[in-house]
């Protein structure tokens, strides 16, 4: 992620991300150390990677800049 993201309580935020390399069709599997929920995502090779952050709590959650939010795997 290129900038800090704040996820409000009881909400979902869609965030564009960047990949380190070039992939064909791929899926993104989230890492486990985030303070929010992140569903797995399937994307085509030409689509911009977008990840959803789900905050089911009653508190604001902040995802810092340049944090790895998931790993992309080609299939």
Q: What is the pLDDT of residues 1-51, one digit of tens each?
A: 678 999 999 999 999 988 888 899 999 999 988 999 999 999 999 888 999
Torsion angle in degrees (nearest 10) through CA of 42, 45, 49, 51: 0
Report the domain count for the chain: 1
Q: What is the pTM of this model?
A: 0.85
**Which range of residues forms the domain containing residue 66?**
5-74
Radius of gyration of the CA atoms of the chain, in A: 12
């Amino acid at each position: 992620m290129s900038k800090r993201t704040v996820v409000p309580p009881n909400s979902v935020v869609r965030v564009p991300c960047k990949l380190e390399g070039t992939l064909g069709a791929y899926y993104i599997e989230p890492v486990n150390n985030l303070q929010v929920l992140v569903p797995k995502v399937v994307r085509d090779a030409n689509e911009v990677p977008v990840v959803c952050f789900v905050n089911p709590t009653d508190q604001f959650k902040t995802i810092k800049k340049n944090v790895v939010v998931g790993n992309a795997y080609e299939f």
